[in-house]
Amino acid sequence: MTLWLTRAGRNGEGENLALNEGLAVIGWGELPDLSTVKSRDELAEICHRTYPEAKPNTVSNWAGQIWAFRERIQMGHLVVLPLKTRNAVAIGKVTGPYQYRPDLPEDARHTHRVDWMRKDIPRSAFDQDILYSLGSLMTVCQIQRNRAE
């Protein structure tokens, strides 16, 4: 089984929306609907046009994360959401494909449906090596360390 880390805002501003609505959400709200994007290179070009002030390495990093969210996260995969608003972690199963939701706040329009199985697992329940992965600075990444799933 594949396990992904996603975040819901730099300061957890999208956590309640994600948990209450059964969603994994990411920001980059200035980006349009990415449903028709065919490649990571095309996505990188869209990111570059949208964020022209960003450095090329930053754009490449963002494109990689957004592409993983848009294309690599699949139904049946697990998602872990380390909560910033409390000392807990939510874990859910992805139940829907990428969907752009213009009805949601700008920082939560790129989504996947998620069945949140647990919303309150204490961080203390995780081994230290997994906590290191949960502490990643990235918004989206696959967690593979020591069979994390």
CA distance 103 to 34: 15
The pLDDT value given to residue 134: 78
Of the chain, the percentage scoring pLDDT greater than 90 comes to 74
Domains of the chain (ranges, CATH numbers): 3-30+74-147 (3.10.590.10)
At 131, the pLDDT band (50, 70, 90 cuts) reads confident
State pLDDT tens for residues 77-98.
999 999 998 889 999 999 999 9
Of the chain, the percentage scoring pLDDT greater than 70 comes to 97
Of the candidates 94, 124, 86, 87, which has an alpha carbon nearest to the alpha carbon of residue 111?
A: 94
Residue type, 78: L
pLDDT for residue 14 is more than 80: yes
pLDDT for residue 148 is more than 70: no
Q: What is the pTM of this model?
A: 0.91
More confident residue, 149 or 38: 38
Of the candidates 110, 119, 113, which has an alpha carbon nearest to the alpha carbon of residue 139?
A: 110
